Amino acid sequence: MSEKIKKMPKSPVLMSELDQMVLPQVLKISPYVPGKPVSELQRELGVQQVVKLASNENPLGCSPRATAAIQNSLSELGRYPDGSAYYLKQALSEHLGRPADEILVGNGSNEVLELVARAFATVGDEVIYSQYAFIVYALSTQVVGATGVEVPAKAYGHDLMAMAEAVTERTKIIYLANPNNPTGTFFERAEWEAFLQAVPQNVLIVLDEAYYEYVAEMAEVDGFSGMDYLDDYPNLIVTRTFSKAYGLAALRVGYLVAHPQIVDYLNRIREPFNVNHLALVAAESALQDQAFVTKSAQVNREGKVVLEAFLQRYHIPYIPSAGNFITIEVGEQAAEINEALLSHGVIVRPVSNYGLKHYLRVSIGTAAEMQKFLSAFREVLLAFGVITPLEESSDESE
């Protein structure tokens, strides 16, 4: 630390007073742990070559149209952004075939997920989500002081019928992710339709489709979008993001589609300028480049095949995923294996905060990144005795 920076004197009295002053629901929250940034590992290891497969980002980056739009907007940084996101909403409206007044744009879909909890739930209310579900649902519930009801997962995925049965008179919101992160599990149309019918109309259903673009490209699953059900279920809210397949995670832009009255309520509590100008123009241009999205999904599919082949060859258990990542069961030494991978310059994601202590989540990278990862992974797993050379040679001779 530089000498100019003085630390605040520690006062134990004040610190215990702060514990009394802060809202009890805030005191209970354990902070979100993000994936380790590439620059941090580069600093620690003193190396440049780092492979980051930790935050389900797009390994291709984003569409060149998005970067061009940003470059063309650099002269406009002195002005506030368009708080109504007019042009992006028009573009989304065209793209989705939904009216613009059903769309709310947020600072990442994280923001729109949280806005729903802030507008519709408070102390005494219940919010339902699945075991192993994306952590933002629990955080959004906690911050408004509502009671989170975590429904046990079924084969790591959402047990939709059990979730519908968990509804009480106090239930305000049910959060679902399809596919879910960190498990990659996916539910199909028939199960979804039965769930929609079972949930009372006075409970909001938030369907998080952050990985929708990857599923849309999978021929083998009966994929569907919640968008198709908005007209029949005014209590349904569908969220999507530009952070994953569109490759704009750094800019923070996502959106939800819902009944205009819901959108109106949420607009009352969002910050007036919640999405920055560069994010708005980049997202609008990225939307016009669907070929980039298709290519991203294809690179993802190819990388996933390579990773699955490796896991099957070494008999390493994993959760089959419909997203751009696979959560792998590496055993009791998952934390140590993660550390060893870091020292090889590979960043993956521990998921012990999700109650998946023996697992590591690996995002799908480019072919070159997957090769680097697999060679480090193989070496580390051999060193930890998770796989054996014997097994390897006998499998290789198959």
Ligand X SMILES: *Cc1c(COP(=O)(O)O)cnc(C)c1O
**DSSP codes, 237-274:** EEEEESSSTT--GGG--EEEE--HHHHHHHHHHS-TT-
Contact between 274 and ligand X by CB under 6 A: the answer reads no
* H or E element, residue 390: helix 389-396
Alpha-carbon span 394 to 348, nearest angstrom? 28
- Spatial CB neighbours of 392, under 8 Å, sequence gap ≥ 6: 314, 382
Q: How far is the CB of 364 from ligand X (least distance, A)?
A: 14
Q: Choose, by CB under 6 A, the member of 102, 150, 159, 208 that binds ligand X.
A: 208
Measured from the CB atom, is 207 or 376 closer to ligand X? 207
**Quick check: 235 binds ligand X (CB under 6 A)?**
no
- Overall size of the chain counted in residues: 398
The residue range among 103-111, 227-235, 326-334, 361-369 that interacts with ligand X, by the rule CB under 6 A, is 103-111
Closest separation in Å from C-beta 175 to ligand X: 9
140 is a contact residue toward ligand X (CB under 6 A): no
Site stretch for ligand X (CB under 6 A), options 9-17, 147-155, 240-248, 345-353: 240-248
Distance CA 49, CA 43 (A): 11
Check whether the bond before 272 is cis (ω within 30° of 0).
no
* Site for ligand X contains 210 (CB under 6 A): yes
CB nearer ligand X, residue 235 or residue 243: 243
For the CB of residue 294, give the shortest distance to ligand X in the complex, in Å.
20
Residue closer to ligand X (CB basis): 354 or 377: 354
| 3-state class (DSSP) for residue 62 | coil
By C-beta, is 324 or 376 nearer to ligand X?
324
Q: Which of 290, 292, 281, 295 is nearest to 66 (CA)?
A: 281
Instruction: Tell me which residues in 327-386 interact with ligand X (CB under 6 A).
Output: none
* Contact criterion met (CB below 8 Å) for 223 and 234: no
| Position 110 contacts ligand X (CB under 6 A) | yes
Count interface residues toward ligand X (CB under 6 A). 14
Verify binding: residue 177, ligand X, rule CB under 6 A: yes
Pick between residue 159 and residue 209 the one whose CB is nearest to ligand X: 209
* C-alpha separations of 49 from 41, 346, 373, 380 in Å: 10, 9, 12, 18
Q: In what order do the strands lie in the sheet with 126-130?
A: 103-106, 254-257, 236-241, 204-208, 171-177, 126-130, 147-151
Nearer to ligand X, 135 or 221 (CB): 135
134 binds ligand X (CB under 6 A): yes
Smallest gap, in angstroms, from Cβ of residue 208 to ligand X? 5
Of all residues in the chain, what percent are helix, strand and coil, respectively (each to 5)? 45, 15, 40
Our finding on whether 324 is near ligand X (CB under 6 A) is no
Decide whether 34 or 272 has the Cβ nearer to ligand X: 34
The Cα angle at residue 84 between residues 81 and 86, in degrees rounded to 5: 95
Q: Of the two residues 119 and 248, which places its CB atom closer to ligand X in the complex?
A: 248
Which of 141, 235, 243, 274 forms a contact with ligand X (CB under 6 A)?
243
Of the pair 134, 195, the CB lying nearest ligand X is at 134
Q: Kindly indicate which of the ranges 102-110, 193-201, 374-382, 389-397 contains the residues binding ligand X, using the contact rule CB under 6 A.
A: 102-110
**Residue 56: CB minimum distance to ligand X, A:** 6
Q: In whole angstroms, give the CA distance from residue 165 to residue 113.
A: 23
3-state class of 132 per DSSP?
Answer: coil
Does position 56 interact with ligand X (CB under 6 A)? The reply is: yes
Decide: 89 and 103 in contact? Cβ < 8 Å: yes
Give contact residues for ligand X (rule: CB under 6 A): 56, 108-110, 134, 177, 181, 208, 210, 241, 243-244, 249, 254
